[in-house]
A and B are shown apart, each in its own frame.
Chain A
């Protein structure tokens, strides 16, 4: 199993550009989430999904869009990039249930100029 994969690993954007961060998992997990990590901060939840076709907002959803058309994929779209979105983005997935380990991807380091 590849686990949770994220592409790209690094990305530089100009203000106003849009892009999609890709996330895929091959473990048939129901739950998937997107977090961002800023210096000196823990991870903050952007969006999450409890199954294909079901998504919801987390703590910091503004400027981001998600969809979940398949169990495997959970892309994160930046609609119009801003310098405040410079961050490391982590995708995570886990099985339905209580206390299960959440598997994290390796992260995408995004810089918005």
Chain B
């Protein structure tokens, strides 16, 4: 069984600063995928970024980057230049279906608050 651990229930960051949200995972599979989602207070789930277990380079999408350390089984999300609109719940998730995303295991999330 897979497991995702997000150890930070809540994080605070000043606007325009960078912030790292932690995620560690536990899987026995060789091929897997790591995903990050954002859930604003309005409730919708927004896909942010994906990292495959065989990808050698860290994934980046605009201001989001994923710090993937395979040996440590960690997949931290880095948000650069935080904006007020980044205030939301952030979920890390993994898939054991070779990186396909229909069978995700989610962590409990980190609530990020961006202060002006």
- The answer, among A35, A43, A98, A101, for a CB contact under 8 Å with B98, is A98
Question: Chain B: interface residue count, which band?
Answer: 20 to 34
Q: How far is the CB of A87 from chain B (nearest CB, A)?
A: 13
Q: Which of A59, A92, A97, A102 has the most CB of B within 10 A?
A: A102
CB within 8 Å for A40 and B108 given contacts A90-B45, A101-B47: yes
A33 x B103 contact (CB < 8 A): yes
Which residues from B are CB-within-8-Å of A42? Answer: 4, 91, 93, 106-109
Report Cα–Cα, A98/B101, bound state, in Å. Answer: 7
Does B102 contact A94, Cβ atoms closer than 8 Å? yes
Q: Mark A67-111, 1 if CB is under 8 A from B, else 0.
A: 000000000000000000000101010101111111110110000
Partner of B101, one of A100, A106, A107: A100
**Smallest CB-CB separation from A93: which chain B residue?**
B102
Contact present for B102 and A33 (CB under 8 Å):
yes
CB atoms of B45 and A104 under 8 A apart = yes
Contact between B44 and A104, CB atoms less than 8 A apart = yes
For A, the interface residue count at a CB cutoff of 8 angstroms equals 30
A45 within 8 A of B: yes
Q: Could you say which residues of chain B place their CB within 8 Å of the CB of A40?
A: 108
Is A58 interfacial (CB 8 A cutoff)?
Answer: yes
Using A42-B93, A106-B44 as known contacts, say yes or no to A98 and B33 having CB atoms under 8 A apart. yes
Apart from the given pairs A99-B99, A101-B101, A102-B35, 8 other A-B contacts in the complex at a CB distance below 8 Å: A42-B106, A43-B45, A45-B103, A94-B102, A98-B98, A99-B101, A104-B45, A107-B44
10 residue pairs bridging A and B, Cβ less than 8 Å apart? A33-B102, A42-B109, A43-B93, A92-B102, A94-B101, A96-B100, A98-B98, A99-B101, A101-B47, A102-B101
The 10 closest A-B pairs by CB, nearest first: A42-B106, A31-B102, A98-B99, A104-B45, A99-B50, A101-B47, A102-B101, A43-B106, A48-B102, A42-B108
